[in-house]
Structure 1
Amino acid sequence: MNNERPNILWINAEDIGPAFGFYGDPHAITPVLDSLAKKSMIYENAFAVSPICSPSRSTLVTGLYATSIGTQHLRSETPYPKELKTLPTLFSEAGYFTSLYGKTDYNFDPKGLWEYWSTDKAPWRKIEDGRPFLSVFTLKSTHEGKGNSKEKYEEEMQLFPHSTRHESRSVPVPPYHPNNEEFKDLWTRYYDLITAFDYEVGEILQNLKDDGLLDNTIVFIFSDHGFGMPRYKRWLYETGINVPLIVHIPDKYKNLSNLKAGEKTGDLVSFVDFVPTALSLADIPVPEYMEGFPFLGKQRKSQLRKDIYAFRSRADNMYEMSRAVRDDRFIYIRHFMPHLPYIQSSVIFSDEKESFGNLLELNQAGKLSLESLKMFSSKPIEELYDLKSDPYELNNLAGKEEYQGQMEWMRKRLQDYVMETKDLGFLYESEMVIRADGKSPYFLRNDPLKFDLKRLYSAANMVGKAAPNEINTLLEDSDSGVIFWGLMALRQLPLEDQRNFIQQLIFLLKSASVTVQIVAAENLYLLTQNDEYLEVLVEKLNHPIDEVKLQAARALELSNPTNSEILAEISKVLQRYKSPSGASHPYTDYNFASFISWSLESILEN
Structure 2
Amino acid sequence: MIEMSVSSGRNVYALLLLILLGLMACGANEELPEHPNILWISHEDLSPIYGCYGDAYARTPYIDSLAKTSIRFTQAFSNAPICAPARSTLITGMYASSLGTQHLRSEIPVPENLKILPEVLKEAGYYTSNNVKTDYNFDHQGRWDESSREAHWRNRAEGQPFFGVFNFMMTHEGPTNALRESDTESLEVYSDPDQAVLPPHLPDSPKMREIWAHMYDLLAVFDQQVGKLLGQLEADGLLDETIVFVFSDHGHGLPGHKRWLDNAGLQIPFILHVPDKYSHLASNIQASVTDRKVGFVDFAPTVIRLAGAEVPEMMEGKNFLGEAAEEKEFVFGYRDRADDCYEVSRSVYDGRYLYVRHFMPQLPYYQNALIFNKGGSYAEINRLRDRGQLSESVLQLFAPKPVEVVYDLENDPLEQHNLIDQPELAGRIAGLSQALDEWMIRHRDTGLITEGIMMEQAKAAGKSVYEIAQGYSTEAFREILEVARMTGEVEEPEALIPFFESEEASARFWALVALDSYSGDIEAVFPYLSQLMQDGAPAVAIKSAEIVAKRMNDPRAFEVLERMLKLDDEVQVLQAAISVRQLGDKAQPLLEVIQEEIFPRYSGEIWGRYKSWSYPMFIGMALDQTQINCGRVIDTHK
Q: TM-score range by the shorter chain?
A: over 0.9
After the TM superposition, which of the residue ranges 245-254 and 285-294 deviates more from structure 2? Answer: 285-294
**Equivalent position of 1:145 in the other structure:** 174
User: Residue 42 of structure 1 is aligned with which of 72, 93, 107?
Assistant: 72
The structural deviation recorded for 1:96 is 0.6
Q: Is the 8 A contact 2:337 2:344 kept in 1?
A: yes
**Equivalent position of 2:564 in the other structure:** 540
- What does 1:53-72 align with in structure 2 at a 5 Å threshold? 53-72=83-102
Q: Is the 8 A contact 2:106 2:138 kept in 1?
A: yes
Task: Flag the structure with larger Rg.
Answer: 2
Is the partner of 2:165 in helix, strand or coil? strand
Return the letter of the residue paired with 2:147.
W
Q: Is the 8 A contact 2:370 2:625 kept in 1?
A: no
**Equivalent position of 1:92 in the other structure:** 122
- What does 1:145-544 align with in structure 2 at a 5 Å threshold? 145-151=174-180, 154-158=181-185, 161-162=186-187, 164-258=189-283, 263-297=288-322, 299-301=324-326, 304-350=327-373, 352-437=374-459, 438-448=462-472, 452-468=476-492, 469-495=494-520, 497-544=521-568
How far apart, in 1, do the equivalents of 2:510 and 2:351 lie?
A: 32
| Change in CA separation of 1:584 and 1:411 when aligned onto 2, cut-off 3 Å | closer
Return the letter of the residue paired with 1:461.
R
The structural deviation recorded for 1:563 is 7.0
1:128 aligns with 2:128: no
| Deviation readout 1:161-211 (Å, 9 max, x if unpaired) | 245322243211111211111111111111111111111111111111111
The structural deviation recorded for 1:129 is 3.9
| Deviation readout 1:551-572 (Å, 9 max, x if unpaired) | 1111111113567663121112
**Equivalent position of 2:15 in the other structure:** none
The structural deviation recorded for 1:450 is 11
Q: Is the 8 A contact 1:6 1:282 kept in 2?
A: yes
Q: Is the 8 A contact 1:163 1:196 kept in 2?
A: no
The structural deviation recorded for 1:529 is 1.8
Structure 2 residues without counterparts, runs of 5 or longer:
1-31, 630-638
The structural deviation recorded for 1:403 is 1.8
How far apart, in 2, do the equivalents of 1:561 and 1:177 lie?
A: 29
Q: Is the 8 A contact 2:363 2:401 kept in 1?
A: yes
Is the partner of 1:243 in helix, strand or coil? strand
| Deviation readout 1:52-89 (Å, 9 max, x if unpaired) | 01001001110000011110100000012121100010
Q: Is the 8 A contact 2:82 2:250 kept in 1?
A: yes
How far apart, in 1, do the equivalents of 2:590 and 2:474 lie?
A: 35
The structural deviation recorded for 1:573 is 1.1
| Change in CA separation of 1:284 and 1:299 when aligned onto 2, cut-off 3 Å | farther
Q: Is the 8 A contact 2:362 2:517 kept in 1?
A: yes
RMSD: 1.8
| Deviation readout 1:369-411 (Å, 9 max, x if unpaired) | 1111000000111000111111111111112222211211111
Is the partner of 2:582 in helix, strand or coil? helix
| Deviation readout 1:526-575 (Å, 9 max, x if unpaired) | 11123331221111012122111001111111113567663121112111
| Deviation readout 1:314-349 (Å, 9 max, x if unpaired) | 001110000000111100000000001110012221
Q: Is the 8 A contact 2:363 2:400 kept in 1?
A: yes
User: Once the two structures are aligned, what percentage of the paired residues are identical?
Assistant: 38
| Deviation readout 1:492-548 (Å, 9 max, x if unpaired) | 2224x2233222211211222111110010000111123331221111012122111
Q: Is the 8 A contact 1:336 1:460 kept in 2?
A: yes
**With structure 2 as the length reference, what TM-score do the two structures score?**
0.90
How far apart, in 1, do the equivalents of 2:299 and 2:324 lie?
A: 13
Q: Is the 8 A contact 1:73 1:314 kept in 2?
A: yes
Is the partner of 1:155 in helix, strand or coil? helix
How far apart, in 2, do the equivalents of 1:187 and 1:355 lie?
A: 9
How far apart, in 1, do the equivalents of 2:377 and 2:592 lie?
A: 34
Q: Is the 8 A contact 1:38 1:262 kept in 2?
A: no
| Change in CA separation of 1:442 and 1:260 when aligned onto 2, cut-off 3 Å | closer
Q: Is the 8 A contact 1:58 1:71 kept in 2?
A: yes
How far apart, in 2, do the equivalents of 1:232 and 1:133 lie?
A: 34
**Equivalent position of 1:551 in the other structure:** 575
| Change in CA separation of 1:29 and 1:42 when aligned onto 2, cut-off 3 Å | same
**Equivalent position of 2:7 in the other structure:** none
How far apart, in 2, do the equivalents of 1:258 and 1:172 lie?
A: 38
The structural deviation recorded for 1:488 is 1.3
Q: Is the 8 A contact 1:3 1:216 kept in 2?
A: no
Structure 1 residues without counterparts, runs of 5 or longer:
none
The structural deviation recorded for 1:261 is 7.2
| Deviation readout 1:398-425 (Å, 9 max, x if unpaired) | 1222221121111111012112222111
The structural deviation recorded for 1:287 is 1.4
| Deviation readout 1:221-254 (Å, 9 max, x if unpaired) | 1110000011000001100000011110101101
Return the letter of the residue paired with 1:434.
E
Size of the alignment, in residue pairs? 594
**With structure 1 as the length reference, what TM-score do the two structures score?**
0.95
How far apart, in 2, do the equivalents of 1:253 and 1:450 lie?
A: 43
